[in-house]
């Protein structure tokens, strides 16, 4: 009945900065527990890049240890009813929950894990919310009766058993856990504000009831809470980093690790998370800059942390009847690969440069332009293909017309430069072309195309 849920961080929010200016926000020292009250809960963090845990003790010290695989979702609860919370990790892909010192549980995959004691027996269990549009879910004993109630967030509002629930404001980038912060037996929220890497420990449903603001950890870490009962913390506090620092070619370190991990999560990066800012990282940054309409540079700017953390692809037509397809946006110079209706990859490209050149094959001057319209992949080749007339070579080409292809190339500048093909970096050809197949739709455009709604294309009512 102590801690509730860990939740994957969803980017970085500006809401915390705005809320700091509200007159009712006061950074208070934690309230001392009343005489005879139980010890209060404390908070902790899980680093999904390394699988490392950082749990705070009541005196503010840190207990640190490794448990679980990088990329897991953290949970914590009292699994055996001894009054002490221990940690666990949830794998959304398999639905497995590994408990530190306990068994592996099998629950639903692909959802939001919630730790709860719904019957008040003192033992927590792991539930998974998979239905509907719930963005977050937690369980809390809000009235002190020993039983937890599950609450879910849908479109920014919180609900429990079909009734609206008052809850503190949780920004898009934030994560939330619950705990008994003053030992009175009632649980309230703690919102982990990712942008500033701060826990906001609420004493009620909003800042008017009092809030403790606790800077701790780094923006990408994921929160937990509970009555951990751990020995006095003597480990170093977690790394403090509240933004992805500016970086460029040749830089290395944890800041680059976080940049690579975030770019990968958003579909821009398919390389190793190795903390080295090389070509793959630079091209991923370029793709992000292109999509966002930023200056086309190869370096990462710390000022764009919020934009990347909250990124959601827009400006691509919806084609529900084509779950697998390729969209080439000439205006932004990017290619988007959809698989199963989801964005699989966002890649920087270089298309036709618009210049005029003499074609030996045609025997006339030709304008270097990429044909626009609706196509399909016709054929593909593995490895290098070299033109005997010109001498240039292209890598793993997939033709979408008889003359033009999507292919890897040694140089893919930030601007249109090709004779008309769609150039992508060679490593992207390695990563992506295995997903291509003959007949896959390809759409090439420089202005947002109008896609007819199939349900409205009938001149008469559709047949029964």
Domain stop point among 304, 336, 368: 304
pLDDT score recorded for residue 420:
95
- What is the 3-class SS of 209-251, one letter each residue? HCEEEEECCCCCCEEEEECCCCCCCCECCCCCCCCCCCECCCC
Strand 356-359 and strand 136-140: pairing? unpaired
Whole-number average pLDDT of the chain = 86
Q: Provide the domain limits for residue 150.
A: 15-226
Task: Write the CATH number for 438.
Answer: 2.40.440.10
Q: Is residue 265 in a domain?
A: yes
Residues 264, 170, single domain; the answer is no
pLDDT of 304 strictly over 60: yes
Q: Is residue 450 in a domain?
A: no
DSSP secondary structure string for all residues of 286-350: HHHHHHHT----SSB-GGGHHHHHT----SS---TT-SSEEEEETTTTEEEEEETTEEEEEEE-B
Give the mean model confidence (pLDDT) for residues 158-173.
89
pLDDT band at 42 (very low <50, low <70, confident <90, very high): very high
Which token pair is 158? 């919180």
Convert the pLDDT of each residue in 361-381 to its tens digit.
778 888 999 999 999 999 999
Q: Is residue 451 in a domain?
A: no
pLDDT of 35 strictly over 50: no
More confident residue, 17 or 192: 192
Q: Is residue 452 in a domain?
A: no
pLDDT band at 134 (very low <50, low <70, confident <90, very high): low
Strand 188-193 and strand 198-202: pairing? antiparallel
Residues 205, 271, single domain; the answer is no
Q: CA-to-CA distance for 227 and 236, rounded, in angstroms?
A: 20
Residues 190, 264, single domain; the answer is no
More confident residue, 127 or 309: 127
Q: Is residue 437 in a domain?
A: yes
pLDDT score recorded for residue 453:
59
Decide: residue 305, CB within 10 A, 0-12 exposed, 13-18 middle, 19+ buried.
buried
3-class DSSP state for residue 378? coil
- Our count of domains for the chain comes to 3
Q: Is residue 162 in a domain?
A: yes
Helix H or strand E encompassing 157: strand 157-160
pLDDT score recorded for residue 230:
64
If you search the block for the tokens 């390729």, which residue do you land on?
Answer: 326
pLDDT score recorded for residue 452:
63
Convert the pLDDT of each residue in 419-437 to its tens digit.
999 999 999 999 999 999 9
- Give the pTM: 0.62
pLDDT of 22 strictly over 80: no
Give the mean model confidence (pLDDT) for residues 251-278.
91
Give the mean model confidence (pLDDT) for residues 112-134.
86
pLDDT band at 462 (very low <50, low <70, confident <90, very high): very low
Pick the most confident of 161-165, 168-172, 426-430. 426-430
Residues 166, 81, single domain; the answer is yes
């Amino acid at each position: 009945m102590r801690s509730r849920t860990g939740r994957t961080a969803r980017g970085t929010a500006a809401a915390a900065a705005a809320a700091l200016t509200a007159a009712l926000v006061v950074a208070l020292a934690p309230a001392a527990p009343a005489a005879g009250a139980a010890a209060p809960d404390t908070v902790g963090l899980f680093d999904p890049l390394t699988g490392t845990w950082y749990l705070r003790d009541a005196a503010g010290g840190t207990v640190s240890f490794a448990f679980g695989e990088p990329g897991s979702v953290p949970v914590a609860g009292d699994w055996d009813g001894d009054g002490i919370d221990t940690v666990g990790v949830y794998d959304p892909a398999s639905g497995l929950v590994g408990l530190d010192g306990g068994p592996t549980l099998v629950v639903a995959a692909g959802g939001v894990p919630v730790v709860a004691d719904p019957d008040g027996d003192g033992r927590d269990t792991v539930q998974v919310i998979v239905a509907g549009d719930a963005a977050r879910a937690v369980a809390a004993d809000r009235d002190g009766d020993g039983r937890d109630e599950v609450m879910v967030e849908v479109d920014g509002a919180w609900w429990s058993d079909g009734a609206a629930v008052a809850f503190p404001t949780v920004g898009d980038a934030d994560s939330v856990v619950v705990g008994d912060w003053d030992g009175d037996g009632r649980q309230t929220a703690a919102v982990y504000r990712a942008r500033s890497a701060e826990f906001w420990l609420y004493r009620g449903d909003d800042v008017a009831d009092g809030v403790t603001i606790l800077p701790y950890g780094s923006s990408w870490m994921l929160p937990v809470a509970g009555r951990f009962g751990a020995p006095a913390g003597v480990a170093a506090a977690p790394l403090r980093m509240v933004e992805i620092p500016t970086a460029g070619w040749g830089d290395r370190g944890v800041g680059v690790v976080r940049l690579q991990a975030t770019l990968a999560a958003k579909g821009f990066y398919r390389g190793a998370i190795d903390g080295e800012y090389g070509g793959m990282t630079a091209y991923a940054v370029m793709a992000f800059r292109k999509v966002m309409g930023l200056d086309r540079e190869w370096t990462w700017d710390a000022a764009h942390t919020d934009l990347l953390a909250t990124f959601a692809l827009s400006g691509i037509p919806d084609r529900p009847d084509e779950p697998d397809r390729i969209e080439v946006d000439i205006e932004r110079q990017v290619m988007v690969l959809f698989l199963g209706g989801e964005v699989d990859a966002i890649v920087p490209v270089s298309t036709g440069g618009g210049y005029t050149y003499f074609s030996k094959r045609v025997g006339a001057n030709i304008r270097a332009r990429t044909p626009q319209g609706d196509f399909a992949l016709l054929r593909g080749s593995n490895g290098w293909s070299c033109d005997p007339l010109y001498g240039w070579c292209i890598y793993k080409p997939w033709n979408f017309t008889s003359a033009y292809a999507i292919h890897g190339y040694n140089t893919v500048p930030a601007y249109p430069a090709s004779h008309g093909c769609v150039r992508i970096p060679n490593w992207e050809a390695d990563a992506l072309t295995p997903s291509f197949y003959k007949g896959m739709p390809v759409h090439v455009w420089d202005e947002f195309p109008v896609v007819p709604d199939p349900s409205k294309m009938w001149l008469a009512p559709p047949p029964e």
